Structure 1
Amino acid sequence: MRVNDLLKLIPEETFRDLAVETKVDVQVKKLSGELMFKLILFSMLHSNKLSLRVMETYLQSAKFRSFTHYDILDGKYNSLRDRICTINAEYFEKMFETIFGIYNKVLKEEKSLSKVDSTYVALATKLFSIGMKNGTGDKRHVKYSIILKGSLPSKAKAHTEQSYVSEHLALGDLIASDNGLKNNIVVFDRGLQTRNRFDQFSVDKKFFIGRANKNIRCKIIEDRVLPSKPQKSTLRITSDKTGYLINQDEKKTKNQYRILKGVIDATGEAFCFVTNIIDEDAYQIAAWYKERWEIEVFFKFIKQHLNAKHLVSRNTNGIKVMLYMTMILAILIIAYKKLNKIASYKIAKLKFELELEQEAIKTIVLYCGGDPQKAKHLFDSG
């Protein structure tokens, strides 16, 4: 699927409808929500290190004007800075969630497993005063907590408050806020251990698989029969029990949970999983947990190729806007990569960018009274 066809899957009225819903353009004359969306997306795609100066330059370029079909665009560095700092971030959050819904269906990943985790972006304290401290050193951090459903990000939050250093809070709040996880499975690492959260997930019918401490405390109700090890399994289950978890106050959970223990074949490392999925095969649960590594690959992708480790705005609102725009661009590139069976993220991003550039050239040719079809061979991708 070509980029132009991919982008057409987003209904044109989406921008207008969400602008009205979020009031993003109230008392704004020039830099509308739709224009800022397209400018940030375009600038992210075409720049290895995005900045407000870069965005200002692209805004005035013929390439961007042909992309947006606007004849005259005007906006200076300080206007862009102020707009990003004050624009309603909810507009971009809803755009992100809408676009995820579209491409989640296109890729047929509606029933896919979800993975949740966090990553950090650091900046020197003298440059960034609002971030959280994480460990030693003279740096402040922004924490990005993200849910990856199938291959696409479905939910994202940016945290600068110190309390959100705790994954119990960051990941727990994110899972709790995602109604799309009801009757679906989410996996996470050992950062989330709170028993109250587990009980709430169970009440909400959100099934989870988490990495647990090997000495997890539990009042055992049932010691289950161990299944035969599948031939392709890279680990061995040594214990499968069901019972009530015990918290730090010596109180047991309201719901029963399943504790799986085992050993990884290659390293001999012991592991322990906790889950509220009671009836599924133990090795299937282990296989689902193994998919958690996909979110680590995703973090590497957005940091290396979408420059997510660089903060364009150091304002809380601006950080949220840029996070949602990064998620949107990631969705587009990943969908393009999968639909066109491209192996590399780097090549997928490059081809996406080149195709978008070709569309801009075609528009300019049409403006000049020409016919792009006469040079069709130049635009056919190999």
Structure 2
Amino acid sequence: MNTGKTLFAQLMDFLPWSTFARIVSRYDGDRAARVLPCTEQFRAMAFAQLTYRESLRDIEACLSAQAHKLYHIGFRQPVHRSTLADANEIRDWRMYADFAHRLIAQARRLYAGDSLGVDLKEAVYALDSTTIDLCLSVFPWAHFRTSKAAVKMHTRLDLRGNSPSFIHVSNGKMHDVRVLDRLVPEAGAIYVMDRAYVDFARLHALHQAGAFFVTRAKSNLRAHRVYSAPADRDAGIIADQTIALDGARTRHECPIHLRRIRFKDPETGKTLVFLTNQTSLPAATVCDLYKARWQVDLFFKWIKQHLRIKRFYGTSENAVKTQIWIAVSVYVLVAIVRKRLNLEPSLYTMLQVVSVSVFEKLPIQSAFLPGACGFDAAMENNQLNLFTD
């Protein structure tokens, strides 16, 4: 690694810029861009994410303070807030969405060998969404409720490495289950979902594609028992049954037999009922898979805590989605760097170090050596530990 480069420049070197250039060309993103091309727009927004900038004025002021270093990190000219605001307003956000998905694919390959915590070779995905609240008077295009605006980030999290494998940003009104229509099911994979995704026609489509699902049963489920397997009550398994749906509509939407597992959590005493089309796994493993679904909730909490996706630099739909997708790209980039360089610190620690060292000229590996960052381990233990090995 070139020690003459700033930490920010070294991080940017891990991005596939040739791929980015092809995506920009496809959308004609640099048309009439005389001052701030898409690469510099991305760098400016990535800088804002890494250093926790609050506004466009904040971005401009901080970059201006390091004007003599801008050329060396990829900026040909000073970044003005009005120019950056215009770029976020008019340049197609889909460029950054496509680029984020390329980075996601790269991260998935790097984390493919990570432990799942459950003895399985199959891919396991957790599906969920998070709502980002907005002000209706400022973001009228994101109408959610009578007096509220919001956008939703629907995510399929690969539980190997806890990296997102699919993200869709919609307005707040889009129901979670509709994202299943946008997914291409992966044969043999297991999809873990909560009750918001219980739509038997869509679940049957997953089954027909050769995929498996694990979800919670709704309280009004109409079904009858076909067969009961032995249940391990010592492990909290109250019942392990094969069932057929009885609802006039659901039995036609999902004509196959399903597996119903009734589990009593020994820690909370709460009884949970799971539905799945996976019949070969032990009942306890199915319960463990659903427990692992909570990793996606930790993922949402983490990115809301550490990335700038709750305060936006623009008010248009294009500006908001541009910021969200670049934030996702930054998150995935740091995860890629951590894996490629076999770094020990968590993503939380890495982001904290980068936030105060972006213009420091030191090898990227040395910045994250134990003790080099100066963070107390006790401080990190109070943070979400989703991304520690």
CA spacing shift, 1:254–1:77, aligned 2, 3 Å: same
Worse overlay, 16-25 or 292-301 = 16-25
Which of 144, 149, 169 matches 1:158?
169
Question: What's 1:30 paired with?
Answer: 35
Instruction: Using structure 2 for the length normalisation, give the TM-score.
Output: 0.79
Provide the aligned C-alpha RMSD in A: 3.1
Q: Does 1:148 align with 2:152?
A: no
Question: What's 1:368 paired with?
Answer: none
Q: Does 1:85 align with 2:89?
A: yes
Amino acid at match of 2:332: I
Instruction: Using structure 1 for the length normalisation, give the TM-score.
Output: 0.81
Question: What's 1:212 paired with?
Answer: 217
TM superposition shift of 1:82: 2.5
1:195-238 deviation digits (Å, cap 9, x = unpaired): 11111111222322112224422243332232575xxx5xx111
TM superposition shift of 1:284: 0.7
Q: What are the equivalent positions in structure 2 for 1:1-382 lying under 5 Å apart? A: 8-49=13-54, 51-58=55-62, 60=64, 61-62=66-67, 65-66=70-71, 68-70=73-75, 72-109=76-113, 112-134=123-145, 138-150=147-159, 151-160=162-171, 162=173, 164=174, 166-169=175-178, 173=179, 175-179=180-184, 181-227=186-232, 229=234, 236-247=236-247, 249=249, 251-252=251-252, 253-336=254-337, 339-343=342-346, 345-354=347-356, 356-358=358-360, 361=361, 381=369, 382=372
CA spacing shift, 1:180–1:167, aligned 2, 3 Å: closer
Mapped partners of 1:129, 1:183: distance in 2: 42
Q: Secondary structure of the equivalent of 2:221? A: coil
Mapped partners of 2:365, 2:273: distance in 1: 57
Question: Percent of pairs identical after alignment?
Answer: 20
1:259-310 deviation digits (Å, cap 9, x = unpaired): 1112111222110111121221111111111111111111111111113222
TM superposition shift of 1:194: 1.0
Amino acid at match of 1:273: F
Amino acid at match of 1:160: N
CA spacing shift, 1:65–1:143, aligned 2, 3 Å: same
TM superposition shift of 1:243: 3.1
Mapped partners of 1:203, 1:380: distance in 2: 47
1:101-127 deviation digits (Å, cap 9, x = unpaired): 112222335865211211112133222
Count of residue pairs brought into register by the alignment: 352
TM superposition shift of 1:315: 1.5
TM superposition shift of 1:58: 4.8
1:176-202 deviation digits (Å, cap 9, x = unpaired): 433374431221111111111111111
Amino acid at match of 1:103: A
Amino acid at match of 1:131: A
Mapped partners of 1:276, 1:196: distance in 2: 13
Mapped partners of 1:313, 1:208: distance in 2: 39
Mapped partners of 1:153, 1:63: distance in 2: 37
Gaps of 5+ in 2: 2-6, 115-121, 373-389
Question: What's 2:119 paired with?
Answer: none
Structure with more relative contact order (C-alpha pairs < 8 Å, separation 6 or more): 2
CA spacing shift, 1:33–1:257, aligned 2, 3 Å: farther
